[in-house]
Amino acid sequence: MSDHTPQTADRPTERKVADAQRAALELARTDDGRRSDALREIAAAIEANAEAILAANERDVEAAEELHADGEYSRAFVDRLTLSETKIEGIAEMVRSVADQTDPLGETIEARRLDTGLELYRVSVPIGVVGTVFESRPDALVQIAALALKSGNAVILKGGSEALHSNRILHETILEATPELPDGWAAQVEAREDVETLLGMDEEIDLLMPRGSSEFVEYIQSNTNVPVLGHTEGVCHVYVDSAADLEMAREIAYDAKVQYPAVCNAVETLLVHESVAGTFLPAMAEEYETAGVELRGDERSRAIVEMDAAVEDDWRTEYGDLILSIRVVDSLGEAVDHVTAYGSKHTDAIVTDDADRAARFMRSLDSASVFHNASTRFADGYRFGLGAEVGISTGKIHARGPVGLEGLTTYQYYLEGSGQQVGTYAGEDAKPYRHEEFDGEWSPGSLSGEDGS
Amino acid sequence: MSDHTPQTADRPTERKVADAQRAALELARTDDGRRSDALREIAAAIEANAEAILAANERDVEAAEELHADGEYSRAFVDRLTLSETKIEGIAEMVRSVADQTDPLGETIEARRLDTGLELYRVSVPIGVVGTVFESRPDALVQIAALALKSGNAVILKGGSEALHSNRILHETILEATPELPDGWAAQVEAREDVETLLGMDEEIDLLMPRGSSEFVEYIQSNTNVPVLGHTEGVCHVYVDSAADLEMAREIAYDAKVQYPAVCNAVETLLVHESVAGTFLPAMAEEYETAGVELRGDERSRAIVEMDAAVEDDWRTEYGDLILSIRVVDSLGEAVDHVTAYGSKHTDAIVTDDADRAARFMRSLDSASVFHNASTRFADGYRFGLGAEVGISTGKIHARGPVGLEGLTTYQYYLEGSGQQVGTYAGEDAKPYRHEEFDGEWSPGSLSGEDGS
Does the distance separating the beta carbons of A415 and B356 come in below 8 Å? Answer: no
State the pLDDT confidence band at B448, using cuts at 50, 70 and 90: low
Give me the percent of chain A exceeding a pLDDT of 90.
83
Does the distance separating the beta carbons of B248 and A395 come in below 8 Å? Answer: no
- Averaged pLDDT, A266-291: 98
Convert the pLDDT of each residue in A116-137 to its tens digit.
999 999 999 999 999 999 877 8
- Set of chain B residues whose Cβ sits within 8 Å of the Cβ of A414: 362, 369-372
State the pLDDT confidence band at B7, using cuts at 50, 70 and 90: very low
pTM of the model: 0.90
Does the distance separating the beta carbons of B248 and A372 come in below 8 Å? Answer: no
Predicted pLDDT at A448: 66
Predicted pLDDT at B232: 74
Strand arrangement of the beta sheet that strand B129-133 belongs to = B186-188, B154-158, B129-133, B207-210
- Averaged pLDDT, B31-38: 97
Predicted pLDDT at A1: 37
Convert the pLDDT of each residue in B140-149 to its tens digit.
999 999 999 9
Predicted pLDDT at B10: 62
Q: What is d(CA A32, CA A45) in angstroms, rounded to the nearest whole number? A: 20
* Cα-only R_g, chain B: 26
State the pLDDT confidence band at B136, using cuts at 50, 70 and 90: confident
pLDDT surpasses 60 at B122: yes
On whether the CB atoms of residues B110 and B411 are closer than 8 A, the answer is: no
Domain boundaries, given as residue ranges, for chain B? 13-222, 236-387
Does the distance separating the beta carbons of B248 and A419 come in below 8 Å? Answer: yes
- Among the four given CATH numbers 3.40.605.10, 3.30.70.20, 3.10.450.50, 2.40.50.140, the one describing domain A13-222: 3.40.605.10
Three-class SS of chain B: CCCCCCCCCCCCHHHHHHHHHHHHHHHCCCCHHHHHHHHHHHHHHHHHCHHHHHHHHHHHHHHHHHHHHCCCCCHHHHHHHCCCHHHHHHHHHHHHHHHHCCCCCCCEEEEEEEECCEEEEEEEEECCEEEEECCCCHHHHHHHHHHHHHCCCEEEEECCHHHHHHHHHHHHHHHHHCCCCCCCCEEECCCHHHHHHHHHCCCCCCEEEECCCHHHHHHHHHCCCCCECCCCCCCEEEEECCCCCHHHHHHHHHHHHHCCCCCCCCEEEEEEEHHHHHHHHHHHHHHHHHCCCEEEECHHHHHHCCCEECCHHHHHCCCCCCEEEEEEECCHHHHHHHHHHHCCCCEEEEECCCHHHHHHHHHHCCCCEEEEEECHHHCCHHHHCCCCCCEEECCCCCCCEEECHHHHEEEEEEEEEEEECHHHHCCCCCCCCCCEECCCCCCCCCCCCCCCC
- Set of chain A residues whose Cβ sits within 8 Å of the Cβ of B438: none
Predicted pLDDT at A186: 98
Q: What is d(CA A366, CA B137) in angstroms, rounded to the nearest whole number? A: 33
Judged on CB neighbours under 10 Å (0-12, 13-18, 19+), A376 is buried
pLDDT surpasses 60 at A348: yes
Largest CA distance in chain B: 83
Q: What is d(CA B208, CA B132) in angstroms, rounded to the nearest whole number? A: 6
**At A105, phi and psi to the nearest 5?**
-105, 160
Convert the pLDDT of each residue in A57-73 to its tens digit.
999 999 999 999 999 99
- Averaged pLDDT, A423-427: 93
pLDDT surpasses 70 at B4: no
Predicted pLDDT at B194: 94
- For chain A, say whether B246 makes contact (Cβ under 8 Å): no
A207, A366, A401 ranked by CB distance to B25: nearest = A366
Which residues of A, range 291-330, sit inside 8 Å of B by Cβ? none
Selected residue of A199, A383, A451 to mutate for chain B interface (largest B Cβ count, 10 A): A383
- For chain A, say whether B226 makes contact (Cβ under 8 Å): no
The CA-based angle B362-B365-B368, given to 5 degrees, is: 90
Per the prediction, chain A carries an average pLDDT of 93
Structurally, what CATH architecture does the domain formed by A236-386 represent? 3-Layer(aba) Sandwich (3.40)
> Where does B236-387 sit in CATH, by number?
3.40.309.10
- Set of chain B residues whose Cβ sits within 8 Å of the Cβ of A395: 227
- For chain B, say whether A353 makes contact (Cβ under 8 Å): no
Contacts of A429 (CB under 8 A, 6+ apart): none
Q: How far is A72 from chain B (nearest CA, A)?
A: 31
Per the prediction, chain B carries an average pLDDT of 93
The total number of residues written for chain B in this structure: 453
Q: How far, in Å, are A315, A326, A333, B346, B417 from residue A311 at the CA level?
A: 8, 11, 22, 53, 32
Q: Which of B347, B346, B345, B303 is nearest to B326 (CA)?
A: B303
Convert the pLDDT of each residue in B374-424 to its tens digit.
999 999 988 999 877 888 898 899 999 999 899 999 999 999 999 999 999
pLDDT surpasses 60 at A453: no
Does the distance separating the beta carbons of B410 and A400 come in below 8 Å? Answer: yes
Predicted pLDDT at B382: 87
